[in-house]
Amino acid sequence: MAGIDLHAVCKRYGDHTPVIRDVDLSIAAGEFCVFVGPSGCGKSTLLRMIAGLEDISSGELHIGGQRMNDVAPAQRGVAMVFQSYALFPHMTVRENMSFGLELAGTPKAEIRRKVDEAARVLQLDHLLDRKPKALSGGQRQRVAIGRAIVRQPGVFLFDEPLSNLDAALRVQTRFEIAKLHREFGHASTVYVTHDQVEAMTLADRILLLNSGEAVQREGSVAQCGTP
């Protein structure tokens, strides 16, 4: 089980004032934790540090009890879903979803089985041979989520995954994320958004990131999205 622990985590870019200051935080295994806060307060930076896409300036990051400060992103058991999908344009949906497992050396038959299963859950079965440019925004984001799920990560990171979708798709994809969390509920999830409704409907716990410091919200009760 992969809980996440941050101890006195700071981040500064170059010589600038720190973007993240002394964040202490424990996210339990299986917990769905949502970070809210204004644009520029450091939400993406925090996620990227957990993912290993950004160095930690000082402090300690542990995942599943292991120190992760210097561990390569692919070795952290973390999968991240971005606002901009970040799919490979020259690869089909199946190839996009298979790529991480191929890198990890997973046997071909197992990759096929896992991708088929994720495609079924996300209703992408009929789109597996298409390239991203032939998909709608909502379909692209489902592929990005599928690509993360097939790796069965201990930690799931979402960086404003619904921001580029129209209102109807935003609601639908939000329900899908909640459902996936229930079904694959062992994963610790950190989800960043500036949308209050998303936060309220998905979170076990809502944290406000206030100019670089995490503040626990009072009375943040999950309304749905938890079993």
Site map for ligand ADP, 9-28, x if CB under 6 A?
----x-----x---------
Out of 15, 17, 39, 219, name the contact with ligand ADP by CB under 6 A.
Answer: 39
Q: Which residues contact 151 (CB under 8 A, 6 or more apart)?
A: 79, 100, 101, 104
Out of 4, 31, 36, 43, name the contact with ligand ADP by CB under 6 A.
Answer: 43
Residues in contact with ligand ADP, counted by CB under 6 A, come to a total of: 12
Site for ligand ADP in 155-184 (CB under 6 A): 160
Strand partners, 110: none
Q: Tell the smallest beta-carbon distance from residue 121 to ligand ADP (Å).
A: 27
When the beta carbons of 37 and 59 are compared against ligand ADP, the nearer one is: 37
Site for ligand ADP in 184-223 (CB under 6 A): none
What span, in angstroms and rounded, lies between the C-alpha atoms of 87 and 85?
6
Contact 40, 19 (CB under 8 A): no
Contact 176, 149 (CB under 8 A): no
What span, in angstroms and rounded, lies between the C-alpha atoms of 218 and 221?
9
| Using rule CB under 6 A, residue 83 touches ligand ADP | yes
Task: Residue count of the chain, please give it.
Answer: 227
When the beta carbons of 44 and 141 are compared against ligand ADP, the nearer one is: 44
Q: Tell the smallest beta-carbon distance from residue 183 to ligand ADP (Å).
A: 28
Structure tokens at 50: 């957990």
Contact 86, 164 (CB under 8 A): no
- Interface residues toward ligand ADP, by CB under 6 A: 13, 19, 37, 39-45, 83, 160
